[in-house]
Structure formats: structure tokens, C-alpha cells
Copies of this chain bind each other. A is one copy, B any other.
Amino acid sequence: MSSVQVVEAKKERGPLNGVDTPKLFATINVVKGQPDLAKFQFRATNRWVKGTHSRSRIETFSGAGGEHRHTGEIEFNADHPEVLVGSDKAPLPVEFLLHAIASCITSGIGNVAAARGVTLTEVESTVEGDIDVRGILGLSDQVRNGYNEIRVHFRIKGDAPPEKLQAIVEQSTARSAVYDVLTNGTAVRVTAEATRG
């Protein structure tokens, strides 16, 4: 057996694409036996800075039976661009939906490919979303406030036939949390505590 073959055999059993596949399968098995561990709560806090500029912190979440604190990036700004009378410190809130859908399906692609023994070499995507801003400007009740359509296009390369790579994108989309929310919607409750001061 050549050293190349040894390395390949090892890759199939162990982590692939930077995904710790054995740990992923172990996690799935543990949750299968204890469904309560599957209950997650994600959180953000946001503070208005000025005009259309605000800043969020995404610090803690609960799940897998405990409380957790993120160790990576946690602070994110959002703003309107000048053409929409903002100061353009950061992307618009609606643009973060595009980051969310692309990154969610891409995370899934990393995981699903690893689970299927496919080594990926490249995954890139472009996302476009169309909005008629007459809705948010209050100029028309016939025009919705949000996106009319979002299009995500992937370019994926790996050591498998194109059909197998396509199927990985399809499975990742079918199991994407962001895809589900953006296509089906969810309940959003907004409350406020107002004080003169």
C-alpha cells in the first residue's frame, strides 16, 4: 500500500473538509436519544447609535442542555447607505439576510459533503435580492416591504461527479434553517417598553 493510499483511507474514516465527521455523527446520535438537547435559543442585543446606524452583539445562546458564550466575532453594525439617507457604516439590515442564507447553506454543504465522503475544493456563491423600496418609504400599500425574490447561485467543486455535488447543495438547502425561515416565514413578536426621558 502506498503512503498516498494510507492517507486516503484515513481521510475517509476521520474528519473531512474541516468537519469533525465522527463528532458530528456522535452528536446526532446523542440528540436522537435525548430530544431535549435539541432545544436551542439564540439571542442578540442591539443598541441604536445614530440615524439609521445600530450595533448588535451576539454573545450567548442556550442549547444542548446548557448556556454557551461565543468565542469568535460578536459585534455587528448595520446602517442605511447614503442613497437611502444613512451614513453607510455597514450594510443594510436586509443585506444581512443574504449573508445568512449563503452562509447557512454553505455550512450545510461542508457538513453534508463530509458525511458523504466528498472532499470539497471550492464552494462559492452569489446572492441577489430584489426590493421595491416604495414599500418601506410608505409610498404604496400594493408594494411589499421586503424582498420579492432572492436568488442564490453556487459554484461547487470536489472529488465527486457533478450530480453528487448538486445533490449535496440540494440536501443542504432542504435542511437549512435560514432557507426555512426565509421561504416559510415564522412568528415574530415585537414588544416595547417606552419611557419619556
Contacts and interface: CB of A to CB of B under 8 A. Distances in A.
Contacts of A24: 85
A28 to B, nearest CB: 5
A99 B75 CA distance: 10
Contacts of A20: 51, 85
Interface in A155-197: 155-163, 165-166, 169, 173, 175-197
A95 B88 CA distance: 22
A45 interface: yes
Nearest to A131: B40
Interface size class of A (residues with CB under 8 A): 35 or more
Contact of A91 (B63, B73, B106, B155): B73
A185 B185 contact: yes
A136 B176 contact: yes
A44 B127 contact: yes
Nearest to A45: B126
Nearest to A184: B185
B175 A40 contact: no
A178 B91 CA distance: 13
